[in-house]
A and B are shown apart, each in its own frame.
Chain A
Amino acid sequence: MMDVPSTGKMSRRTFLDYFLGLSVVAWLAAVLYPIIDYFRVPPQTEAAPSSVVAGSVKDFKPNSGKVFRFGNEPAILVDTPDGKLEAFSAVCTHLQCTVQYRPDMQRIWCACHGGVYDLNGRNISGPPPRPLTGYKVAVKGDDIVVSKS
């Protein structure tokens, strides 16, 4: 095809081709790196949809409670001594501590100032000024689904 090409032109062309090829490889790397990395197992293997699934029915015994995350606030699910499920915001209405269930008292209790709520969320002793916000509890299959009522 090219019998007597000038050497300068020839070398420039090959240089350009070579460089072009190299940058295509670099470009491929730049595009493929994020894509391949995208498939790496993420630190937390699955999306956490549990903002409203508080737990499984199996994990609950009467006279127990569990604090779980509900949106951006902690919430508490209580299995009452009569086996009824109740859910409340776990944020104490006094100074925003997180409340917990006390099986010995059969009450919801705040460790900070000893505020006590009954199992309807009503503030019955100590400094809390207001009842806990109640949530709606539904059982779907084994899942306990808590939603804002």
Chain B
Amino acid sequence: MNKESKMMRWLNERYNLSLIEHFAEEKKVPHFRGSFWYYFGGVSLFLFIVQVVTGILLLMYYQPGAQTAYESVRFIVMKVQFGWLIRSIHSWSANLMILSVIIHMFSVYFTKAFRKPRELTWYSGFILLALCLTFGFSGYLLPWNTLSYFATKVGTEIVGVVPFVGKPVMEVLRNGSDVTTATLTRFFALHVAVLPALFTVILGVHLLFIQVQGISEPESWKYLPESKKSHIPFFPNFVLRDVLLWLIVLNVLAILAVYFPWELGHKAEPFAPAPIGIKPEWYFLFMFQSLRFFPPKLLGVDGEVLGISLFGLAGFLWFLVPFWDSKTSKGSRNRIVNYVGIGVVLYIIVFTVIGARAK
């Protein structure tokens, strides 16, 4: 005790830590039946940290390039001490992170936490989700195996279908007209430099907004008197709970990595015929599956173009939910938001399942 306070005093004299202390003491988190969902933001943050750590570790041995990408990942998995573990955790953690971010987004959506004054938090969160998906897409190619090669080929082809800007964007993404090792270099730069920098900045902004505004209270508390609202202190109660959950997630990660090591597959051979049943990662599956259901021509427009445009539009509307949800912000309930949300969740689940079962 004595030692601790001595150190605190030393720091306090120089940095006025009492401010932070004060902030931490004051900060409260609403405590209610649905507050479990509040933890997914923290879980996503934890998984991001895991990604950064394991990503840096992988970078110690990974070499991009036609003759080295696959071989170096193979080397990491086979020869480097615990390389298999680091690589498996990186892959599993990436998927869990996207899952956790998606759950986080829907929990924010259904608790209407995006409303005034938190619109900017929603927008920044949406951008973070988009960055996560880009992370996943770019990282998937890096081991340069058959599946990732063809998934990238199909994925970038879909980008190329977008009217007007599609083709040039696709060529910029691919760094050429086809997926080659030039694409690999570009994706590598994206994955380890551009995206982490962007992500960190936007994540910082996202967290800053939350700290400034405090955590959103549930809808049902609107007309509740202050005394009926139950809170727990952010520090240490909420933080410790967060840490507890992180530990559990870490455990799950370790078990997944050991029992279901992420497969390396075979080295990509650009001139080999595409294997049957190429599928994107599960989080793109619902879109991929929907595009397959589109007729080749619809109302004189190319079905694929129409599908992609519709998805673009839907994503944009979703992004803009704080705008069109204007009614609720004025106080009246807007059930449409809930119905849309449930519809979207059901749609994504159903099409992901269909996509996963499709041959």
Chain A residues packing against B (C-beta within 8 Å): 27, 34-35, 37-40, 42-44, 46-53, 71
Q: Are B60 and A39 in contact (CB under 8 A)?
A: yes
Q: Are A35 and B71 in contact (CB under 8 A)?
A: no
- Besides A34-B81, A39-B60, A53-B67, 7 more A-B contacts (Cβ < 8 Å) are A35-B57, A38-B57, A42-B79, A44-B75, A47-B72, A47-B74, A49-B67
Q: Are B67 and A42 in contact (CB under 8 A)?
A: no
The reply on B80 being an interface residue by CB < 8 A is yes
Looking at the assembled complex, report how far the CB atom of A115 sits from the nearest CB atom of chain B, in whole angstroms. Answer: 29
In the complex, A27 Cα to B75 Cα: how many Å?
A: 28
The reply on B83 being an interface residue by CB < 8 A is yes
Q: Are A38 and B82 in contact (CB under 8 A)?
A: yes
Q: Are B60 and A49 in contact (CB under 8 A)?
A: no
Question: Closest residue of chain B to A46, judged by CB?
Answer: B75
Q: Are B57 and A52 in contact (CB under 8 A)?
A: no
Q: Are B67 and A38 in contact (CB under 8 A)?
A: no
Q: Are B81 and A52 in contact (CB under 8 A)?
A: no
* A47 in complex: contacting residue of B57, B63, B85, B247, CB < 8 Å: B63
Q: Are A37 and B63 in contact (CB under 8 A)?
A: no
In the complex, A18 Cα to B266 Cα: how many Å?
A: 50
Q: Could you list 9 examples of A-B contacts with CB < 8 Å?
A: A35-B82, A38-B86, A40-B81, A42-B81, A46-B75, A47-B75, A47-B76, A48-B75, A49-B68
In the complex, A34 Cα to B82 Cα: how many Å?
A: 6
Question: Closest residue of chain A to B58, judged by CB?
Answer: A38
Q: Are B80 and A38 in contact (CB under 8 A)?
A: yes
In the complex, A49 Cα to B60 Cα: how many Å?
A: 16
Residues of A within 8 A of B68 (CB): 47, 49
Question: Closest residue of chain B to A38, judged by CB?
Answer: B82
Question: Closest residue of chain B to A71, judged by CB?
Answer: B267
Looking at the assembled complex, report how far the CB atom of B180 sits from the nearest CB atom of chain A, in whole angstroms. Answer: 14
In the complex, A42 Cα to B60 Cα: how many Å?
A: 12
Question: Closest residue of chain A to B72, judged by CB?
Answer: A47
* A48 in complex: contacting residue of B61, B65, B71, B76, CB < 8 Å: B71
Number of interface residues of B (CB under 8 A): 22
Question: Closest residue of chain B to A42, judged by CB?
Answer: B79
How many A-B pairs with Cβ below 8 Å? 51
* B71 in complex: contacting residue of A40, A42, A43, A49, CB < 8 Å: A49
Knowing A35-B57, A38-B60, A39-B60 touch, does A49 contact B82 (C-beta < 8 A)?
Answer: no
Looking at the assembled complex, report how far the CB atom of B145 sits from the nearest CB atom of chain A, in whole angstroms. Answer: 14
Looking at the assembled complex, report how far the CB atom of B264 sits from the nearest CB atom of chain A, in whole angstroms. Answer: 13
Question: Closest residue of chain B to A50, judged by CB?
Answer: B67
Looking at the assembled complex, report how far the CB atom of B68 sits from the nearest CB atom of chain A, in whole angstroms. Answer: 4
In the complex, A53 Cα to B76 Cα: how many Å?
A: 20
Q: Are A42 and B80 in contact (CB under 8 A)?
A: yes
In the complex, A49 Cα to B64 Cα: how many Å?
A: 11
Residues of B within 8 A of A46 (CB): 75
In the complex, A34 Cα to B71 Cα: how many Å?
A: 22
Residues of A within 8 A of B65 (CB): 49
With most chain B CB atoms within 10 A of its CB, the pick from A35, A46, A49 is: A49
In the complex, A35 Cα to B61 Cα: how many Å?
A: 13
Q: Are B86 and A34 in contact (CB under 8 A)?
A: yes
Q: Are B57 and A44 in contact (CB under 8 A)?
A: no
Knowing A34-B85, A38-B57 touch, does A52 contact B79 (C-beta < 8 A)?
Answer: no
Looking at the assembled complex, report how far the CB atom of A65 sits from the nearest CB atom of chain B, in whole angstroms. Answer: 22
Residues of B within 8 A of A71 (CB): 267
Question: Closest residue of chain B to A30, judged by CB?
Answer: B254
Question: Closest residue of chain A to B61, judged by CB?
Answer: A47
Residues of A within 8 A of B82 (CB): 34-35, 37-38
Looking at the assembled complex, report how far the CB atom of B343 sits from the nearest CB atom of chain A, in whole angstroms. Answer: 42
Q: Are A38 and B72 in contact (CB under 8 A)?
A: no
Knowing A38-B81, A42-B79, A44-B79 touch, does A49 contact B57 (C-beta < 8 A)?
Answer: no
In the complex, A49 Cα to B71 Cα: how many Å?
A: 6
Looking at the assembled complex, report how far the CB atom of A144 sits from the nearest CB atom of chain B, in whole angstroms. Answer: 13
In the complex, A143 Cα to B156 Cα: how many Å?
A: 33
Pairs of residues from A and B, 3 with the lowest C-beta to C-beta distance, nearest first: A47-B75, A34-B82, A47-B72
